Amino acid sequence: MARLLYTVLFYAAQPLVWVRLLWRGRKQAEYRHHVGERYGFYSPAPAAPILWLHAVSVGETRAAEPLIAALLAHHPDHVLLLTHMTPTGRETGRMYVERYPGRVVQAYLPYDLPGAARRFLGHFRPRIGLFMETELWPNLIAAAGSAGIPAALVNGRLSARSQRGYQRLGALIRPALQSLALVAAQTAADASRLASVGACSPHVTGNLKFDVTPDPARLAQGHNWRAEIGARPIWLAASTRNGEEALIFDVAAGLAVAKLLLIVVPRHPQRFDEVAALARARGLRLKRRSEGELPDTETQVWLGDSMGEMAAYYAASDLALIGGSLLPFGGQNLIEAAACGCPVLVGPHTFNFAQAADDAIACDAARRITDARQLADVVTHLLTTPEDRINMKEKAIAFSQAHQGATARTMALLEPLLTKQRSSTTAAAVR
Cβ atoms of 391 and 268 within 8 Å: the answer is no
C-alpha radius of gyration, the chain, whole number: 22
Cβ atoms of 201 and 213 within 8 Å: the answer is no
Q: CA angle 25-138-195, nearest 5°?
A: 120
Sign (positive or negative) of CA dihedral 46, 48, 49, 52:
negative
> Tell me, what amino acid is at 289?
R
Among 30, 37, 60, 394, the active-site one is 60
Pairing of strands 286-288, 366-368: unpaired
The residue among 381, 342, 355, 357 whose CA lies nearest residue 237 is: 342
Is 245 an active-site residue? Answer: no
For residues 87 and 372, give the distance between their C-alpha atoms in angstroms, rounded to a whole number. 32
For residues 56 and 254, give the distance between their C-alpha atoms in angstroms, rounded to a whole number. 38
Is residue 214 left, alpha or beta, with left meaning phi > 0 and alpha meaning psi from -120 to 50? beta
Catalytic residue numbers, as ranges? 60
